[in-house]
């Protein structure tokens, strides 16, 4: 706290105050600061970490050939990641005659391609999201009352709605039988950031089925011999 001390001294019949320097005692302020820090630590709601959920299938038994799944060539879309952040893709089976097309990570690049081939599912997801945004949407009308009451004890209304949308999108993806089956492959010179970016694009385009697999020699030849069309 601040304290100013003044003394009067008689000189020539007049009283003049003698001014001293201000003395500030910071001890009470330290106590107050500690109390404020403790208060904010106890009352602040920490933000939840944002992570991408990736569901991986159980590894198949190599001895059981019945568990080996073949990708439908009509739905197969292979994305090849190469050095210098290069992105290539082709449809169908891996073949030296496959039509390789070069693109990039821009909004008009691989994202546009994924949205084009996944148009049906993307449309359903967009319609669901727009429905939830409408003022007439009521979470009580689409969820069981007991489940909703239980969730409201530990979650906010926005968190409940987001969880509902997430579950509905998972159902749409599980029922999807028209969208592309994306195979992501990369050569040895690809940066880790490119993997993160391509997984982000899978999420943005609502791709239901994708996998990261090893690049084949024939695909390396396609990249090596690529010529712009």
Which tens digits make up the pLDDT trace of 51-74?
555 555 556 666 655 555 566 778
- Give me the phi and psi of 11, to 5 degrees please: -145, 115
- Give me the phi and psi of 211, to 5 degrees please: -150, 150
Per-residue CA distances from 196 to 51, 164, 212, 216 (Å): 12, 26, 12, 21
Mean pLDDT, the chain, integer: 82
Give the model's pLDDT for residue 209. Answer: 92
Both structure tokens of 210: 């994708």
Query: Which residue, among 51, 79, 101, has the nearest Cα to 226 in the 3D structure?
Result: 101
Give the model's pLDDT for residue 42. Answer: 79
The predicted-structure confidence for 150-178, as pLDDT tens digits, reads as follows: 888 888 888 999 989 999 999 999 999 88
Residue 15, CB-side half-sphere exposure with 13 Å CA sphere = 3
Handedness of CA 10, 12, 16, 19 (dihedral sign): negative
Count CB neighbours of 118 within 10 A.
22
Mean pLDDT of the 195-217 span: 92
Task: Write the CB contacts of 90 (distance below 8 Å, at least 6 apart in sequence).
Answer: 77, 78, 80, 98, 99, 100, 101, 222
Give the confidence band of 223 by pLDDT, cuts at 50, 70, 90.
very high
Residue 194, CB-side half-sphere exposure with 13 Å CA sphere = 21
Give the model's pLDDT for residue 142. Answer: 86
**Tell me, what DSSP letter sits at residue 50?**
P
Give the model's pLDDT for residue 144. Answer: 86
Q: What angle do CA 120, 194, 163 make, to 5 degrees?
A: 50
Partnered with residue 78 across adjacent β-strands are 90, 183
- Are the C-beta atoms of 7 and 18 separated by less than 8 Å? yes
Give the confidence band of 26 by pLDDT, cuts at 50, 70, 90.
confident
Give the confidence band of 40 by pLDDT, cuts at 50, 70, 90.
confident
Which has more pLDDT, 149 or 51? 149
**DSSP H helices in 134-211:** 145-151, 157-175, 192-204
Give the model's pLDDT for residue 103. Answer: 93
- Are the C-beta atoms of 105 and 201 separated by less than 8 Å? yes
Give the model's pLDDT for residue 78. Answer: 94
Statement: the pTM of the whole predicted model exceeds 0.85: no
Buried b (16+ CB within 10 A) or exposed e, 67-102: eeeebeeebbbbbbbbeeebbbbbebebeeebebeb
pLDDT for residue 41 is more than 70: yes
């Amino acid at each position: 706290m601040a304290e100013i001390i003044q003394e009067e001294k008689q000189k020539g019949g007049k009283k003049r105050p003698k001014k001293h320097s201000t003395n500030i005692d910071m001890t009470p302020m330290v106590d107050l600061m500690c109390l404020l820090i403790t208060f904010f630590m106890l009352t602040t709601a920490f933000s939840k970490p944002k992570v991408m959920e990736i569901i991986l299938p159980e590894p198949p038994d190599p001895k059981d050939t019945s568990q080996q799944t073949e990708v439908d060539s009509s739905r197969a879309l292979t994305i090849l990641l190469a050095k210098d952040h290069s992105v290539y893709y082709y449809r169908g089976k891996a073949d030296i005659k496959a039509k390789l097309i070069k693109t990039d990570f821009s909004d008009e690049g691989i994202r546009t391609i994924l949205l084009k081939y996944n148009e049906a599912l993307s449309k359903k997801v967009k319609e669901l999201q727009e429905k939830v945004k409408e003022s007439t949407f009521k979470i009580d009308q689409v969820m069981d009352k007991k489940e909703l009451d239980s969730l409201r004890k530990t979650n906010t209304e926005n968190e409940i709605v987001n969880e509902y949308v997430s579950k509905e999108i998972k159902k749409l993806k599980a029922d999807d039988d028209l969208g592309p089956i994306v195979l992501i492959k990369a050569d040895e010179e690809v940066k880790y950031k490119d993997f993160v970016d391509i997984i982000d694009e899978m999420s943005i385009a609502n791709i239901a089925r994708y996998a990261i697999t090893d690049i084949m020699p024939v695909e390396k030849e396609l990249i090596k011999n690529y010529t712009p069309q």
